[in-house]
Amino acid sequence: MVSSTKGLMLPQMGCGTWAWGNRLLWGYDQSMDAQLQQVFDLCVANGVTLFDTGDSYGTGKLNGQSEKLLGKFEREYQGINKEQICLATKLAAYPWRLTPKSMVKAGLASIQRMGRVDLAQMHWSTANYFPWQEWQLLDGLADLYEQGLIKGVGLSNYGTKRLRQVHQKFSDRHIPIATLQVQYSLLSTYPVTELNLKETCDELGIKLIAYSPLCLGILSGKYNEPSNYPKGLRGLLFKRLVPEAKPLLDCVKAIALSRNKTMAQVAINWCIAKGAMPIPGAKNIQQAQDNIAAKNWLLDAGEIAELDCAGAGINQSMVQNIFQSK
């Protein structure tokens, strides 16, 4: 199932590539590249054709690595659905990017690394600390679109109030906003339940994208015991969240068993059922296959209600992105 939004081909589900180049949080190593290319090929062949990256993805000497890998994989892919591939990147609101030209320059750098950019997104709003900077960068994003360098513009980590302001700004230049992505999962419902972003996006004709739909892997059910928590920063988060989330995880597991699905598939499908496009990440073929099997079916209303109820009873939810605006 592919929908067309403002000239872009948007699938039911995409693939997030934060881990492709990130050593600090995800343990990336360049020896993984061949496997990541297999992940890319498998996703495209199965209709997962939007790949989301960012010009800040990749740590240290690997800065921009995720974009470089995506560009390489797209060029070398020769299978089905190639014409539907949507390469999406997010341009960071770095403090040294202060003018529209700096944003255009950033977009051109991403295009050079990837070969092309279909969807360019503002990675986060500076409304909470440098509101004047944001308008300059948004003008640059609009310039990229007007100059025909990208097919569409999107936003990331925006709340309803700021979204409406930016929508008006772009409307004045006759530029549609195609997408808005926020952290949205069974353990992070704040953007929708508190900020009413889904209703606002529907009103404005914007597709809502759900990043981290598995809450960094917690909702996959693979990390039930402290002994198998991931190391580093993720492990610290899991130590706080997993015990609190047990009633929800038990609910996800019960539905997964009754459906003959995995917990990850249930959690991802919940996002789809809510009208969002989830973009779970995948570092290997098994994860990609698991993600792919989450689409082309839907949880029923009773199952969704059970999950919503279980999620609402959790006292500790996922930490919100510090750049999420109101």
DSSP string, 236-278: HHHHHHTTTTHHHHHHHHHHHHHHT--HHHHHHHHHHHTT-EE
pLDDT of the residue at 31 = 80
Residue in the block written with tokens 């360049």: 30
Question: Phi then psi for 134, rounded to 5 degrees?
Answer: -60, -40
- Of 245, 297, 249, 290, the C-alpha closest to 273 is 297
Query: What ranges make up the beta strands (E) of the chain?
Result: 2-5, 8-11, 14-16, 50-52, 86-91, 119-122, 152-156, 177-183, 207-211, 277-278
pTM over 0.95: no
d(CA 251, CA 260): 14
Catalytic status, residue 229: no
Q: What is the pLDDT confidence band of residue 319, given thresholds at 50, 70 and 90?
A: low
Determine how β-strand 50-52 pairs with β-strand 119-122. Answer: unpaired
- Report the phi/psi class of residue 271: left, alpha or beta, with left for phi > 0 and alpha for psi in -120 to 50: alpha
pLDDT tens for residues 111-131? 999 999 999 999 989 888 888
Q: Which CATH architecture has domain 2-312?
A: Alpha-Beta Barrel (3.20)
Radius of gyration in angstroms for the set of CA atoms belonging to the chain, rounded to a whole number: 19
Q: What is the pLDDT confidence band of residue 227, given thresholds at 50, 70 and 90?
A: confident
Q: Residue ranges of the domains in the chain?
A: 2-312
Question: Phi then psi for 261, rounded to 5 degrees?
Answer: -120, 170
Q: Which two tokens stand for residue 148?
A: 């025909």
Which of 57, 158, 211, 223 is catalytic? The answer is 57
Average pLDDT over residues 19-33: 73
Q: Residue 272: CB partners within 8 Å, gap ≥ 6?
A: 12, 13, 278, 294, 295, 298
Q: Residue 78: CB partners within 8 Å, gap ≥ 6?
A: none
Residue 273 has pLDDT above 70, yes or no: yes
